[in-house]
Amino acid sequence: MFQKYLTKTFLLLARYAAEPEDSEEWRIKKITFVSVALGAALGWLGFGLLYLTLNERTIGLFTISGFILIVLSLIGYRIYRRYTLLVYFGVIVHTLGITIIHLLLGGFVQSGMVIVWILISPMLLIVGYKPHHGLIMMLVVAIIFPLVAILQPYYLRISNNIPPNVITALFVVNTLGVATYMILAVYYFVWRNEILSKLVFGEQEKSEALLLNILPKEIVAVLKNENRVIADQFDSASILFADVVNFTPMSARMTPTELVELLNEVYSYFDTLVEKYGLEKIKTIGDCYMVASGVPRRRPDHALVLTMLALEIRDYVNKNEFHGHKLTFRIGLNSGSVVAGVIGKKKFAYDLWGDAVNTASRMESSSAGGSIQVTEATYDLIKEEFVCDPRGTIQVKGKGEMPVWFVMEKR
Mean pLDDT, all residues of the chain: 87
List the domain boundaries for the chain.
2-208, 227-410
* Catalytic residue list: 362, 397
- Minimal CA–CA distance to 61: which of 100, 30, 27? 100
pTM listed for this prediction: 0.56
Flag whether pLDDT at 346 surpasses 80: no
Residue 366 phi/psi, 5° resolution? -100, 0
- Encode 254-297 in three state secondary structure: CCHHHHHHHHHHHHHHHHHHHHHCCCEEEEEECCEEEEEECCCC
Distance (Å, rounded) from C-alpha 155 to C-alpha 99? 12
Distance (Å, rounded) from C-alpha 99 to C-alpha 111? 11
Give, in order, the Cα–Cα distances in Å from 168 to each of 145, 162, 172, 285, 323: 20, 10, 6, 82, 84
Give CA angle at 302 (299, 270), nearest 5°. Answer: 120
Give, in order, the Cα–Cα distances in Å from 103 to each of 145, 154, 201, 395: 12, 10, 51, 104
Q: What is the pLDDT of residue 208?
A: 67
On whether the CB atoms of residues 33 and 129 are closer than 8 A, the answer is yes
The Cβ of residue 83 has, within 10 Å, a number of other Cβ atoms equal to: 20
Pairing outcome for strands 349-353 and 280-285? unpaired
Q: What is the pLDDT of residues 52-90, one digit of tens each?
A: 999 999 999 999 999 999 999 999 999 999 999 999 999
Q: What is the pLDDT of residues 287-299, one digit of tens each?
A: 899 999 998 889 9
Superfamily of domain 227-410: Nucleotide cyclase, GGDEF domain (3.30.70.1230)
Flag whether pLDDT at 314 surpasses 80: yes
Query: What is the number of residues in the chain?
Result: 411
Residue 151's contacts (CB-CB under 8 Å, 6 or more residues apart) are 103
Tell me the one-letter amino acid at 201.
Answer: F
Flag whether pLDDT at 98 surpasses 80: yes
Q: What is the pLDDT of residue 253?
A: 83
Q: What is the pLDDT of residues 107-128, one digit of tens each?
A: 999 999 999 999 999 999 998 8
- Minimal CA–CA distance to 83: which of 133, 48, 117? 133
Pairing outcome for strands 372-375 and 329-343? parallel
Q: How far apart are the first and last CA of the chain?
A: 71
Q: How confident is the model at residue 224 (pLDDT cuts 50, 70, 90)?
A: low
Q: What is the pLDDT of residues 262-287, one digit of tens each?
A: 888 899 999 999 999 999 898 888 88
What is the residue-wise DSSP string for 178-205? Answer: HHHHHHHHHHHHHHHHHHHHHHHHHHHH
Q: Quick one: CA dihedral 92, 98, 101, 106, positive or negative?
A: negative
Q: How confident is the model at residue 2 (pLDDT cuts 50, 70, 90)?
A: low
Distance (Å, rounded) from C-alpha 270 to C-alpha 289? 9
Could you give the count of Cα atoms lying within 13 Å of 244 in the half-sphere of its Cβ?
20
Q: What's the average model confidence in pLDDT over 386-406?
A: 90
- CA-CA-CA-CA torsion for 111, 114, 115, 117, nearest 10 degrees? 180
Q: What's the average model confidence in pLDDT over 196-209?
A: 70
Residue 64's contacts (CB-CB under 8 Å, 6 or more residues apart) are 44, 45, 48, 49, 52
Q: What is the pLDDT of residues 365-381, one digit of tens each?
A: 888 888 999 999 999 99
Give CA angle at 283 (282, 289), nearest 5°. Answer: 105
The Cβ of residue 390 has, within 10 Å, a number of other Cβ atoms equal to: 10
Q: What is the pLDDT of residue 82?
A: 94
Give CA angle at 335 (331, 340), nearest 5°. Answer: 100
Give CA angle at 104 (168, 157), nearest 5°. Answer: 90
Q: What is the pLDDT of residue 75?
A: 94
Flag whether pLDDT at 10 surpasses 70: no
Q: Which of 45-54, 83-92, 125-134, 343-352 has the lowest mean pLDDT?
A: 343-352
- Minimal CA–CA distance to 306: which of 341, 337, 335, 282? 335
Quick one: what percent of the chain has pLDDT higher than 90?
A: 54
Flag whether pLDDT at 255 surpasses 90: no
Distance (Å, rounded) from C-alpha 95 to C-alpha 119? 9
